[in-house]
């Protein structure tokens, strides 16, 4: 297992375009890339300006929101919704390597939080680095930033956008 630099910080809300669904853990490896592709197609067809990185937000009860960062509110459709990643106090780290090993990074964050007596809210998310073709030959360079919202920040998280995520 690789060493992780774990840090406590505060995040601002990030507006997203997402597909929201309840997904079994074993199906995430198929759902996430498919949803990212569908959202990216929507972003292009809707001519949304300045789209950003792909994201996956994990909520209670197996609910996930998968999509991409966007710069402004937009009218969605029956599949793609305007939402946001939470603002608040988080514990975060960066994972370098294949997506199949992201569980290692999440486990390390949970261990760190237990050691430091931080209570987690149960909400966490990943922001994936913009794909670099070199990652096909060297997957150890794939970058994913991950965040676990602390439970006291979820009560005071501000929702500054027009889009209301389901966790509010």
Q: How confident is the model at residue 155 (pLDDT cuts 50, 70, 90)?
A: very low
CA distance 134 to 143: 12
- The residue extents of the domains of the chain are 7-156
- Give residue 1's pLDDT: 57
Looking at residue 84, what is its pLDDT? 97
Are 50 and 116 a contacting pair, CB within 8 Å?
Answer: no
Q: Please state, for a pLDDT cut of 90, what percent of the chain lies above it.
A: 77
CA angle 38, 39, 42 (to 5 degrees): 90
pLDDT higher than 90, residue 126: yes
The single-letter DSSP state of residue 117 is T
Both tokens of 55, joined, read: 């994201």
Average pLDDT taken over every residue of the chain: 89
Tokens of 20: 């929201």
Classify domain 7-156 by CATH number. 3.20.80.10
Q: What is the mean pLDDT of residues 35-49?
A: 96
Instruction: Answer whether residue 113 shows pLDDT above 60.
Output: yes
pTM of the model: 0.88
């Amino acid at each position: 297992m690789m060493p992780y630099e774990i840090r406590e910080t505060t995040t601002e809300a990030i507006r997203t375009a997402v597909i929201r669904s309840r997904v079994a853990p074993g199906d995430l490896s198929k759902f996430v890339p498919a949803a990212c592709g569908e959202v990216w197609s929507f972003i292009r067809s809707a001519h949304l300006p300045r789209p950003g990185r792909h994201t996956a937000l994990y909520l209670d009860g197996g609910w996930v929101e998968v999509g991409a960062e966007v710069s402004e509110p937009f009218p969605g459709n029956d599949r793609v919704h305007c939402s946001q990643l939470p603002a608040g106090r988080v514990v975060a780290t960066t994972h370098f390597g294949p997506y199949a090993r992201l569980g290692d990074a999440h486990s390390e964050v949970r261990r760190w939080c237990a050691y430091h007596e931080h209570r987690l809210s149960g909400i966490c998310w990943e922001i994936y680095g913009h794909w670099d073709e070199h990652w096909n030959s060297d997957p150890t360079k794939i970058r994913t930033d991950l965040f676990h919202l602390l439970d006291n920040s979820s009560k005071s998280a501000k929702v500054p956008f027009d889009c209301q995520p389901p966790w509010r």
